[in-house]
Chains A and B, each alone.
Chain A
């Protein structure tokens, strides 16, 4: 089967995904504590693609005050 993956079209999507994961991981690294163990959030951000990082930003982050 001929599956030409159109990388030039997918590049922006991968780029956005990369930004979200990296920023999520940086914020996770800098955070003093999160809801739930940190190692779990690392796995979720890395494996959960788009929804993983969103879940971290919505649920995992504790607002610093």
Chain B
């Protein structure tokens, strides 16, 4: 436990030194705030873009607050996930390549506390960034567009947070397996994308897969339903996160024993 605390402090320090604690939350906040503003002023933006044929008019239904929140989460699903993967991808592989991990493991330290500290710091970075951005999006949506059902928004946010944790776990697992940063980003983003797409194609068989989490939060936000599969997807996703953690720990141990 003491080792875990030390490692955790080290990870936090490292994230601070590489400015991750600054730019990841700020980018998330910006993404979250931008969506309600863009949606609200879309008619004006289209008008001043100016390349519309004369006489053409666009009538747009003003979107509801829940729709804008769902769009914001969609934004996090593309750009936000990319930002997370990019910021986390070298967490394990970087130390392996620079020789820091060899230095650490020349002492009798436990592999579990080493990877657990990585995972916990990843969770805290994601949670802080996402909660900040989501709160910003919520505030702006309520101020500019319309009220959002509190329960639905909180549930959707919770599911979405779990999905981000899962994405972060995939990234760390890839980081423990591969060396090139581009390969890590490619594998983890590709896995997340494939899981999402697959559960869109075979909703009946993959209702419990972590990939269906994005769909669940959209449904929950828009219609307040789809919560029957939610419990299953919740449990399976947590198990997947645990499996990623176990596999990465095993891999770190394996690499160490080869030195």
Contact = CB atoms under 8 A, between A and B. Distances in A.
Interface residues of B, number: 26
Interface string B81-97: 00100110010001000
Interface residues of A, number: 22
Interface in A1-36: 1, 3, 6, 9-10, 12-13, 16-17, 19-20, 23, 27
B86 A58 contact: yes
Of listed A10, A53, A58, residue having the most chain B CB within 10 A = A58
B33 A20 contact: no
B206 interface: no
Contact of A23 (B17, B19, B27, B37): B19
Interface stretch (B41-49, B210-218, B230-238): B41-49
A64 interface: yes
B30 A50 contact: yes
Contacts of A57: 18-20, 23, 87
A54 interface: yes
A63 B48 contact: no
Contact of A16 (B30, B83, B94, B144): B30
B23 A53 contact: yes
A58 to B, nearest CB: 5
Interface in B6-26: 17-20, 22-23, 26
A18 B44 CA distance: 25
Nearest to B20: A57
Interface in A37-65: 50, 53-54, 57-58, 61, 63-65
Nearest to B90: A63
A13 B83 CA distance: 18
B23 A65 contact: no
B57 interface: no
A9 B144 CA distance: 10
Given A63-B94, A65-B98, A1 B48 contact: yes
B41 A17 contact: no
11 contacts: A9-B37, A9-B144, A16-B29, A17-B30, A19-B22, A27-B19, A50-B30, A54-B86, A57-B20, A57-B23, A63-B90
B48 A23 contact: no
A19 B41 contact: no
Nearest to A65: B98
B19 A65 contact: no
A42 to B, nearest CB: 17
A20 B23 contact: yes
Contacts of A3: 44, 48
B22 A50 contact: no
Contacts of B194: none
Given A20-B27, A57-B20, 10 more contacts: A3-B44, A10-B37, A13-B30, A13-B33, A17-B30, A19-B26, A27-B19, A54-B86, A63-B18, A63-B98
